[in-house]
């Protein structure tokens, strides 16, 4: 989900590239830095700082829906944690967004097969209670192909099962049901929207996530069924007409201002140039946001801490950003990019950890040709962690996307997401799902990558892209 990138594209008619000073010469990683990185890597693998941070956030703050009371506690937690870890600078930058609240939600089959259904409202759903016959569609295309008005007074049920995969590629089609399904259903006349969760588990824990309604449509209550409940509703629908009651109390309620919380370990010789790493501080409300994304916070805070404990600081600063409200539209990432657009070229590389806590298996950057050899050198330092160099692959993490669009070069540390969508956006996203050893491997990878990027002689192609709008 990259609304910022999608929105920006049609506006950009011309792009100016303001290359940084060293852009022309080959970027290199000093041999001494590679030696230091090897020691850092081994130290990180034996260190539990990442785990302790992740445990602290998920336990002491718990669920932290953007705009909720816990959002403010999370901000305070992050500031205190950065200070406790010895970051040289700690500050916040405001992020303002509309506030959505979930108050209650339930659904039930009515009639001769009466029984409750485990659902969760999609983020952005309005409240309301609707009853109607369920019309099942195998996927989003089937719903979109339904006759106009054919769902009048009915509840649409999109029963698409997304597949599991290491790289999460199945989520594209799964999340499209969530983002586009409600509007498609409304256009056909539906009074409510149900979907099989965009998930890969078989537990009674439905997967939430943001949805949006197209302009001009009147939103209807929209929810996801757990996978077993989708199975059940499909079986019932196959037996004959099924009536369901869907009752949601939720909705948008004004604006809220949260904070991107930022900690920096100051660089030795080029302190104004930064390597940016981070995760997002907010979570959905159903679980404690362990894999999404306390792990990302823990991994990146710990990586910076371990770098700061080295005998000598790297040349550039290591900046860790705990982004606000990623879940409801990359608000933190957009705010950061807007505030730092002019500094896009001073961000050497930027990477967000936001795909769980599975082991990292691949690495790449979006650097141009003059920094490909340096990228490969970093990959070689990561190889003992079971990480392969994957030229031509990857991209910017969610909250890095907007900054990348401003000119900063992304780095990509690909996590194994084979079980990520078992847990993503569910009540089951809790600390026990994280393997401490895999988390330490992530910390080691982020530490090595960030350290070497901060020690590199030369740049990775970050620029300031100036967009010219259409007249």
From 108-116, 132-140, 213-221, 392-400, span contacting its own copies (CB under 8 A): 108-116
Is 405 an interacting residue with respect to its own copies (CB under 8 A)? no
Options 96, 129, 169, 202; binder of its own copies; rule CB under 8 A: 202
Asked whether the beta carbons of 455 and 398 are under 8 A apart, the reply is no
Which parts of 289-328 interact with its own copies (CB under 8 A)?
Answer: none
Q: State which of positions 118-177 bind its own copies (CB under 8 A).
A: 118
Tell me the three-class secondary structure of 398-415, residue by residue: HHHHHHHHHCCCEEEEEE
Q: For strands 243-265 and 89-110, give the pairing.
A: antiparallel
Is residue 287 part of the contact set for its own copies (CB under 8 A)?
yes
Does residue 109 bind its own copies (CB under 8 A)? yes
Report the residue number, 239 or 469, with the smaller CB distance to its own copies: 239
Cα atoms in the 13 Å half-sphere on the side-chain side of 103:
11
DSSP letter string, 79-107: HHHHHHTT-SEEEEEEEEEEEEEEEEEEE
Min dist CB 53 to its own copies, Å, is: 14
Please provide the size of the chain in residues: 471
Distances (CA, A) of 232 to 105, 130, 235, 236: 19, 20, 5, 6
- Kindly identify the residues of this chain, within the stretch 222-241, that bind its own copies according to CB under 8 A: 227-228, 231-232, 235-236, 239
Nearest-approach distance from CB 121 to its own copies, in angstroms: 15
Restricting to residues 239-278, which ones interact with its own copies according to CB under 8 A? Answer: 239
Burial (CB < 10 A; 0-12, 13-18, 19+), residue 104, is exposed
Beta carbon of residue 47, minimum distance to its own copies (angstroms, whole number): 20
> Considering beta carbons, is residue 117 or 265 the nearer one to its own copies?
117
- Phi and psi torsions of 279, nearest 5°: -150, -175
Closest alpha carbon to 391 in 367, 368, 364, 423: 364
Report, in Å, the least distance between residue 82 CB and its own copies.
19
Binding range to its own copies, per CB under 8 A, among 2-10, 120-128, 307-315, 420-428: 420-428
210 binds its own copies (CB under 8 A): no
Closest separation in Å from C-beta 236 to its own copies: 6
Minimum distance of its own copies from residue 204's CB (angstroms): 4
- Closest to its own copies by CB, 116 or 395: 116
Q: Coil, strand or helix: which one is 307?
A: helix
* In the complex, least distance from residue 235 CB atom to its own copies, rounded to whole angstroms: 5
d(CA 111, CA 106): 16
Three-state SS for 42? helix
Preceding peptide of 293 cis, ω within 30°: yes
Contact between 369 and its own copies per CB under 8 A = no
Q: Which residues bind its own copies (CB under 8 A)?
A: 55, 58-63, 69-70, 73, 109, 112-116, 118, 202-205, 227-228, 231-232, 235-236, 239, 287-288, 426-428, 430-433
């Amino acid at each position: 989900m990259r609304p910022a990138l999608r929105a920006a594209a049609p506006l950009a008619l011309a792009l100016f590239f303001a290359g940084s000073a060293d852009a022309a010469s080959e970027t290199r990683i000093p041999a001494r830095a590679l030696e230091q990185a090897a020691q850092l890597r081994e130290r990180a693998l034996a260190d539990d700082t990442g785990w302790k941070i992740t445990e602290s956030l998920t336990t002491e703050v718990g669920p932290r829906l953007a705009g909720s009371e816990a959002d403010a506690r999370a901000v305070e937690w992050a500031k205190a944690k950065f200070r406790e870890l010895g970051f040289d600078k700690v500050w916040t930058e405001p992020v303002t967004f509309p506030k959505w609240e979930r108050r209650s939600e339930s659904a039930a089959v009515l009639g001769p097969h009466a029984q409750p259904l485990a659902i969760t409202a999609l983020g952005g759903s309005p409240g309301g209670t609707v009853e109607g016959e369920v019309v099942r569609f195998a996927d989003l295309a089937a719903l979109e192909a339904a006759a106009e008005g054919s769902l009048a007074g009915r509840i649409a049920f999109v029963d698409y099962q997304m597949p599991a995969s290491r790289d999460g590629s199945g989520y594209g089609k799964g999340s499209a049901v969530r983002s586009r399904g409600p509007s498609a259903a409304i256009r056909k006349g539906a009074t409510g929207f149900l979907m099989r969760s965009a998930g890969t588990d078989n537990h009674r824990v439905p997967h939430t996530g943001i949805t949006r309604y197209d302009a001009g449509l009147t939103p209807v209550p929209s929810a996801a069924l757990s996978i077993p409940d989708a199975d059940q509703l499909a079986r019932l629908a196959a037996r004959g007409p099924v009536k369901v009651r869907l009752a949601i109390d939720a909705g948008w309620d004004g604006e809220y201002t949260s904070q991107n919380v930022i900690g920096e370990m100051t660089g030795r010789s080029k302190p104004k140039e930064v390597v940016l790493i981070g995760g997002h501080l907010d979570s959905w409300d159903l679980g404690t946001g362990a894999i999404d994304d306390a792990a990302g916070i823990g991994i990146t805070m710990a990586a910076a801490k371990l770098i700061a404990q080295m005998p000598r600081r790297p040349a550039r600063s290591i900046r860790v950003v705990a982004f606000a409200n990623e879940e409801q539209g990359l608000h933190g990432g957009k705010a950061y990019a807007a505030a730092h657009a002019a500094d896009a070229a001073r961000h050497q590389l930027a990477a967000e950890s936001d795909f769980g806590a599975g082991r990292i298996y691949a690495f790449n950057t979006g650097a141009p040709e003059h920094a490909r050899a340096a990228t490969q050198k970093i990959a070689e330092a990561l190889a003992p962690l079971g990480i392969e160099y994957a030229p031509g692959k990857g991209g910017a993490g969610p909250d890095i996307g907007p900054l990348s669009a401003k000119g900063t070069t992304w780095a990509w540390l690909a996590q194994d997401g084979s079980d990520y969508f078992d847990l993503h956006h569910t009540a089951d996203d809790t600390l026990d799902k994280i393997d401490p050893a895999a988390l330490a491997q992530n910390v080691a990878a982020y530490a090595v990558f960030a350290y070497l990027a901060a020690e590199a002689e030369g740049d990775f192609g970050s620029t300031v892209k100036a967009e010219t709008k259409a007249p």
